[in-house]
Amino acid sequence: MKRIVAVLAIVWAAANVVVAYLFVTNAFVAKTAAKEGLPAQAALLLGGLLIAVFAVIVAREGLALFRGTSRVS
């Protein structure tokens, strides 16, 4: 069961990395600046970076769970 949960967590983290990529890249395109403005660009950038960081952490925890090397238990 641990391995199934670990794989699901890694898949979820991967999907979030894609979302983070779209957030960050679209923070810098002219279309976003024209349509949404600077605050939205900043929000996309910040949100994307935070999602990326947390997704990487979840992927690492998922991998550790899969391998049976989790830190806490």
Partner 1 sequence: MGAVRWLIVLVGVALAGLGAVAIFGQATSGTQPWDPELSDNFIFVKSIPFVLGLGVAVGLARGRGAGAQRRRADGRVERFRIGTVVGHWIMTIGFLLALPTGMWQYLGGILDVRAPIDLFLFYRVHYVGGAVVLFGVASFLAYWSINADRSLLPPRGQWRAHLAGATAELPPRLSGPLARLFRLDLAARRPTPDRFTYYETGFSFPVWTIALALITVTGLIKAMRYVYPIPGGILYWASTFHVASMVLIVLKVLDHLRYTLPRWPMMVAIAKGWVNEGSIRSLLAAEPTAAPAADADVARAPAMSGSDR
Cβ 37 to partner 1, closest distance in Å?
A: 11
* 22 sits near partner 1 (criterion: CB under 8 A): yes
Asked if 2 and 61 count as a contact pair (C-beta separation under 8 A), the reply is no
Q: Supply the minimum distance, in Å, between the C-beta of residue 44 and partner 1.
A: 8
Q: What is the smallest separation between the CB atom of 55 and partner 1, expressed in angstroms?
A: 6
Please report the DSSP string for 21-52 in residue order.
HHHHHHTSSHHHHHHH-HHHHHHHHHHHHHHH
Task: Measure the CA–CA gap between 60 and 37, rounded to whole angstroms.
Answer: 35
Q: How far apart are CA 23 and CA 4, in angstroms?
A: 29
Which residues contact partner 1 (rule: CB under 8 A)? Answer: 2, 5-6, 9, 12-13, 15-16, 19, 22-23, 26, 31-32, 35-36, 43-44, 47, 50-51, 54-55, 57-58, 61-62, 64-65, 70-73
